[in-house]
């Protein structure tokens, strides 16, 4: 049921984090505010394929 997803920085577009989510319960794309090592600030990370 849980699928692997990749989170990419919205500023530099680098893929920094991997996570899992339940596709049946959350149908929209995941967005989290996380630390980006290349930007060196906390930015919004969005789910990518």
pLDDT at 49: 81
pLDDT at 3: 93
The domain that contains 26 carries what CATH number? Answer: 2.20.28.120
Find the domain containing 37 and state its range.
2-48
Report residue 12 as tokens. Answer: 């530099």
Buried b (16+ CB within 10 A) or exposed e, 1-39: eeeebebbbeeeeeebeeeebeeeeeeeeeeeeeebeee
Do residues 15 and 26 make contact, with C-beta atoms less than 8 angstroms apart? no
- Return d(Cα 49, Cα 21) in angstroms, integer: 13
pLDDT at 13: 95
Kindly list the averaged pLDDT for each block of 10 residues, start to end, along the chain of length 49.
Answer: 94 96 92 96 95
**β-strand partners of 21:** 3
pTM listed for this prediction: 0.86
pLDDT at 1: 81
What is the tally of structural domains in the chain? 1
pLDDT at 38: 95
């Amino acid at each position: 049921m849980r699928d692997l997803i990749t989170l990419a920085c919205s500023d530099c577009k680098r893929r920094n984090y991997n996570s899992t989510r339940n596709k049946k319960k959350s149908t929209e794309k995941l967005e989290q505010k996380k630390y980006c090592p290349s930007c060196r600030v906390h930015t919004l990370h969005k789910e990518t394929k």
